[in-house]
Amino acid sequence: MIGLAAILQIFFFAGLGFETFAQAQVLVPGEVKYFESRNASDQPLDVIEINGTIAYPMADLFQAELAKTHQGRALLVRLNSPGGSNEQGNKIIQMLQDKRQDGTVLDTSVENGTVCASMCVPLFMQGRKRYGGEGSLFMFHGATQPSFSNIPHPLVTEDVIQTMIRAGMSSEWIQKRRQEGVFSKPGAYWISGRELFDQNAGVITKLIPRHVVEEPWTAPFDTNIRPR
């Protein structure tokens, strides 16, 4: 027989939205950081980095950093994330789409040695140009409802898929993954940036070479230091 306390607990969690339930699970959000840089043409560039799990309150953190950007200046969003909350991710996607509607040139990047998994991929897809490292890793899977099951939820999964297709992902590539059960069975489908690009998945539009050659740099020279 179920006790009163257990019944009250069931009703309590049943009344929680997925976002609040995620908070109850103490998901730790990653870091969102804004800084200024310059593009290849030596023009000022706004950059926002997302590092880590997409979890509450990351959408609020992203909005605060987005407010630091400059009107009329290009924006690069750099991603290194294992994914996370669909709700938080969708809020960030809406902000990026609004930014593009305002006329902002928005590009995204996942660089060599970094990861873009799960909900990170729809965010990456919002870029006009999408830079991906040959040595980067991407992961796809069916979306699930938080904490209830690892079985992909068809409606939630389809919503994520359509978001990516609308942003430019190849529906033919997606169909092949459907046939393999990537979006319907529990599990994770990992693929390198190089493979995604070669397979014409419509994810990466500009490939970053594994070995990026940089100009030699000279260490600072202190005139007060004498040879020994």
Q: What is the reported pLDDT for 147?
A: 57
DSSP 8-state assignment for residue 75:
E
Burial category of 133 from C-beta neighbours within 10 Å (exposed 0-12, middle 13-18, buried 19 and up): buried
Q: What is the reported pLDDT for 8?
A: 36
Q: Domain 31-208, CATH 3.40.710.10 — does that match? A: no
What SS3 state is found at 54? strand
- State the CB neighbour count (10 A cutoff) for residue 7: 10
User: CA angle, corner 193, sides to 187 and 194, nearest 5?
Assistant: 120
Return the higher-pLDDT residue of 94 and 22: 94
Cβ partners under 8 Å of residue 149, min gap 6: none
Q: What is the pLDDT of residues 157-200, one digit of tens each?
A: 999 999 999 999 999 999 999 999 999 999 999 999 999 999 99
Q: What is the mean pLDDT of residues 145-157?
A: 83
Q: What is the pLDDT of residues 63-102, one digit of tens each?
A: 999 999 999 999 999 999 999 999 999 999 999 999 999 9
pTM of this structure: 0.84
Q: Which residues pair with 34 in a beta bridge?
A: 48
Q: What is the pLDDT of residues 120-145, one digit of tens each?
A: 999 999 999 999 999 999 999 999 87
Domain range list for the chain: 31-208
d(CA 227, CA 225): 7
Which range (12-21, 158-167, 215-224) has the least confidence? 12-21
CB 99 within 8 A of CB 116: no
Spacing of C-alpha 92 from chain mean position: 9
Q: Among all chains, which residue has been given the structure tokens 């493979």?
A: 195
H-helix or E-strand containing 188?
none
Q: What is the reported pLDDT for 215?
A: 80
Q: Among all chains, which residue has been given the structure tokens 């990351």?
A: 58
d(CA 1, CA 23): 30
Q: In the numeric block, which tokens belong to residue 22? A: 């995620």
